Amino acid sequence: MALEEVKSLGDHVLFLGKNTTASCSAAELGLTRGCLYYTLPEDQSFYKFEVEDHGITVILRCLKLPTTWFEADWMMMPTTVRVTYGRRTRIEDIVGKDEEEYNIIEAERNKTSINNDEMENQGQKHNEGELEEARPWGILNEDIVELIASNLHPVGYIYFRAVCKANRSIIPAVYRRSSSTGIIKTRNLSPWLVFSIDSDTIYNFVDPMHNNQKYLMNLSELLIGASIRFSKCGWLLMSKGRKTLFFYNPFTRATIQLPDLPKAYGFVGMSFSSLPTSSDCVVFGIAHDPWYELSIFIIARGNDFWRSRIFLNNNLEKYMPCINNPVFYDGAFYCLDYNGTLGVFSLEDDFIWKVLAKPREHFNAVYPRPLGKSVGIFRLDFSKMVWVKVESLGKLMLFISNTSSLSAIALDSRMENKIYFPRLHGEGILFYSLETGWYHSLGSQHSAKDFYDTKELLNCTWIEPNWSQTTEQELDWLSI
């Protein structure tokens, strides 16, 4: 007997409480299908997890609960209303009717459904005809299309390829330049938000700089069931299962396989020091087990095995690991805990782990407080090893998530002095403005003081677009 991950709940909706659980048909009650509703201890909010979309939304504030309250449980109440085919019908109106009338109702529903499908198909054909008539793409021969594509910036290349089927059949999906061009400059781009909905090969890329522009990329089958662990220099560090790790560049489709871990581990944080194609790249992972032990694994490029160190960590008040991305700086990986304390693992001096003295009380570093009700930004002064509160980012913008944290100079003044989150309000990326002290959403008039009515993306990260080509030798981890 083994546990198996559920990819879809179908029409079912689940309700999870401390002592009770419940389920029902989404269609019958008019709810969103395939969702899990739950609450958290000591949290006056209501959450919805969408199984197929892998997103968590804070959908309701329970602000009128008494100060002392208990964790919620669920109770299913009988109802006389059923929602089917978008229509609300009282159950007693159906019960007791003869079979002939029921069949007439079903026939009318089927007829409506068929007519809607026919109208949709006719509209689609009509629109396609207008599109082809308005855009005579055939005037460009293959040589001209290839010439235009070869002189475009990578983002322009994506747009040009998406213009019509003819262009997509002529130029490849992967942007390529000859090796003589070297590294492709992307200084005029901001980091993109990348996320997967169902752990499949279709990944979403959202560009916050260009009006929330979204791209869908069908990537390698190697990514099926894989999770994003870290991002840097345009490369994703991915895990598959609990032993397999690999690098993947979604812009060039390049892959670098890493040696498997000696046994299964659940890391709370992973990182790597530099470009995975460079000779000095080191991959780092930190795990914490119930026996108060910190396990740290590292592997350097050219090595075919992981080295590990185990440290006793029985004082959680001193250092309490949390899920986030370690940062590499000056030969060491820095790991932030729940309380703003830093643990440092040095690659020099025989791999020493030490916990820095907490600079000041109640300093929670750069991440927001629960539900985003307040945001504190603190800069670590390495000369004094103290946190310094940041009141303004100036022309900088921050992109934060559990799997990557990036800063960049805003090329557009509308993006400066803001923090961008891996959350969506509708289709727009959520950001926090230090000027207004409010959360806003790209492409809408949304303004709020917290995370309510926004969706948290789970398998996601921020990535810096990188179309630089690599050699076969660079893609071999054992080659230096």
454 pLDDT above the threshold of 50: yes
Q: What DSSP string runs through 91-154? A: HHHHTT--HHHHHHHHHHHHHHHHHHHHHHHHHHHHHHHHHHHH--GGGS-HHHHHHHHHTS-H
Using pLDDT thresholds of 50, 70 and 90, give the confidence band for residue 475. Answer: very high
% of residues, the chain, pLDDT over 70? 77
H/E run at residue 168: helix 165-170
How far is 475 from 247, CA to CA, in rounded Å?
9
pLDDT at position 129 is: 47
Residues 184-191 have a mean pLDDT of 67
Contact residues for 106 (Cβ-Cβ < 8 A; gap 6+)? none
Could you tell me the pLDDT band of residue 377, with boundaries at 50, 70 and 90? confident
**Which residue in 299, 246, 298, 288 sits closest to 265, CA to CA?**
288
Name residue, tokens 């309510």: 452
pLDDT at 307: 94
Q: Mapping DSSP to helix (H, G, I), strand (E, B) and coil, where does residue 1 land?
A: coil
At residue 255, the pLDDT reads 97
> What local confidence, expressed as pLDDT, does residue 441 receive?
92
Q: What is the mean pLDDT of residues 119-143?
A: 52
The answer to whether residue 246 scores a pLDDT higher than 80 is yes
Please tell me the least confidently modeled range out of 35-39, 53-57, 175-179, 245-249: 175-179
* CA pair distance 112, 116, nearest whole angstrom: 6
Average pLDDT over residues 354-365: 56
Q: Is the pLDDT of residue 100 over 70?
A: no
pLDDT score, position 64: 64
Averaged pLDDT of the chain: 79
Give the residue with greater pLDDT, 86 vs 93.
86
* Helices and strands in the chain, H and E counts: 6, 32
Burial per residue of 233-253, b for 16 or more beta-carbon CB atoms within 10 angstroms, e otherwise: bbbbbbbeeeeebbbbbbbbe
pLDDT of residue 424: 92
> Which of 18-32, 53-67, 262-276 is most confident?
262-276
- Contact between 378 and 363 under an 8 Å Cβ cutoff? The reply is yes
Predicted confidence (pLDDT) per residue in 331-340, tens digit: 999 998 887 7
Residue 123 predicted with pLDDT over 90: no
Rounded CA-CA distance 340/86 in Å is 49
The more confident residue out of 378 and 409 is 409
Given a cut of 90, whether residue 144 has pLDDT beyond it is: no
Relative to beta strand 332-336, strand 327-329 is antiparallel
Task: Tell me which of 259 and 157 has the higher pLDDT.
Answer: 259
Between these two residues, 302 and 371, which has the higher pLDDT value? 302
Higher-pLDDT residue of 391 and 94 is 391
pLDDT score, position 371: 72
Least confident of 52-66, 207-221, 237-251, 344-358: 52-66
Q: What is the reported pLDDT for 286?
A: 94
Predicted pLDDT at 211: 74
Look at residue 159 in the predicted model and tell me its pLDDT.
75
Higher pLDDT, 25 or 5: 25
pLDDT at 269 over 70: yes
Q: How far lies 215's CA from each of 185, 190, 226, 322, in Å?
A: 20, 15, 20, 32
Q: Examine the pLDDT at 133 and tell me if it is beyond 80.
A: no
DSSP codes, 17-67:
-SS-EEEEEHHHHTPPSSEEEEEETTEEEEEEEETTTTEEEEEEE-TTS-S
Query: For residue 394, is pLDDT > 90?
Result: yes
- Condensed to tens digits (0 to 9), the pLDDT of residues 39-88 reads 887 677 788 888 888 888 887 766 666 655 566 777 666 655 555 555 55
pLDDT of residue 113: 42
- Judging by beta carbons within 10 Å of its beta carbon (0-12, 13-18, 19+), is residue 230 exposed, middle or buried? buried
Q: Which residue has the higher pLDDT, 471 or 289?
A: 471
* pLDDT at position 381: 78
How confident is the model over 391-412, as a mean pLDDT?
91
Residues 6+ apart with CB under 8 A from 472: none
With contact defined as beta carbons under 8 Å apart, do 11 and 84 qualify? no
Q: How far apart are CA 365 and CA 359, in angstroms?
A: 11
pTM for the model: 0.75
Query: Per-residue DSSP letters for 196-219?
Result: ESSSSSEEEEEETTTTTEEEEEE-
Question: Of 114-123, 169-178, 319-328, 377-386, which range is least confident?
Answer: 114-123
Q: Higher confidence at residue 189 or residue 192?
A: 192
For each of the domains in the chain, give its residue range(s) and CATH number, in order of start: 12-94 (no CATH), 192-463 (2.120.10)
pLDDT at 300 over 60: yes
